[in-house]
Amino acid sequence: MDSWIERFVTYLRAERHYSEQTVAVYEPTLCGFAAFIGGNGQPIDWSLVSREDVREWIASQMERRKAAATVNKQLSALRSFYKYLLMCKAVESDPTRTLKGPKKEKKLPYFVREKEMDNLFDHMVFADNYAGCRDRLILLIFYSTGIRLSELVGLDVNSVNFHSSTIKVLGKRNKERIVPFGAELKEALEAYLPLREQQPQAADNPALFPGVKVSRITKKAVSDIVKSCLSQVTTQRKRSPHVLRHSFATAMLNNGAEIEVVKQLLGHESIATTEIYTHTTFEELKKAYSKAHPRAEE
């Protein structure tokens, strides 16, 4: 092993107290880089390594079909190594300083198609009692408003304004936003509230969805309800409350909503976060085109 790499690994263990798991990533990464630029196993003069050397090494890793996230971790290890070399005055410059790693591929969000959601609300049979009414309402709130799991759990009865057909939501970093809802959700809320009042756990409890042994329904209980119900209308692997949030956003964009409107409804701070749903809708368009156009498959 190169002497400077050996010293760096010792430094990570003895002075930085890095875990063996982290060292197990750094050490082979640096040895691999040394082999790449040295080739014949000769001692490395780290001061002669150029930005282009590092760029070619990154390219070689990508050519080996390594994931962008993996290559970025390796580049991070090399950056840490050069910070150490600078600290030890073994080099005068850092060839990694201005380099950017490969962009991570954005995974398209999972969502349930509109036809499957129609089956859920129009054809699936919910129990004719408080639990059945509550479960359907939970699903409808997620799909009608796109709110997060934590936001739903945090809803109070007085969060709902029937006069304006809006829900006041407390989002990330305690930011409030007002989300509108339609006639179907309004009817479901009006049917649910009288049943809620009959529950012993509802007495003097502001929560829209009271828990059984706790003041509010738990996130796990809501997730279990969503997973159980979605499993009856879709075969996709992910069946979580967040999938319903994705389904809301995708349905809105597919039906002509402006992306800025969807951004506001979801409570995103950046339009870039919302833009991933445009990729989803574009993928749907491509599938529809390939299926429908007579010459698309030629």
**How would DSSP label each residue in 145-213?**
H---HHHHHT-BGGGEETTTTEEEEE-GGG-EEEEE--HHHHHHHHHHHHHHHTSGGGTT--BSS--SS
- Which residue in the list 134, 136, 148, 216 is annotated as catalytic? 148
64 as an active site residue: the answer is no
136 as an active site residue: the answer is no
Closest to 53 in 3D by CA, of 41, 40, 39:
39
289 as an active site residue: the answer is no
- Which residue in the list 172, 175, 219, 286 is annotated as catalytic? 172
For tokens 């409030």, what's the residue? Answer: 176
Q: Helices 20-38 and 51-63 sit at what angle, rounded to 10 degrees?
A: 110
- CA distances to 1, 6, 20, 54 from 34, rounded to whole Å, are 9, 12, 21, 11
Largest CA distance in the chain: 80
219 as an active site residue: the answer is no
293 as an active site residue: the answer is no
Residue 263 φ/ψ, nearest 5 degrees:
-55, -45
Sheet holding 166-170, edge to edge: 160-161, 166-170, 176-180
- Which residue in the list 136, 245, 246, 263 is annotated as catalytic? 245
Distance, in Å, from the CA atom of 53 to the CA atom of 96, rounded to the nearest integer, reads 10
246 as an active site residue: the answer is no
- Which residue in the list 26, 143, 192, 277 is annotated as catalytic? 277
Q: Which two tokens stand for residue 101?
A: 């790693």
Q: Which residue type, as a one-letter code, is found at position 213?
A: K
Q: Which residues are catalytic?
A: 148, 172, 242, 245, 268, 277
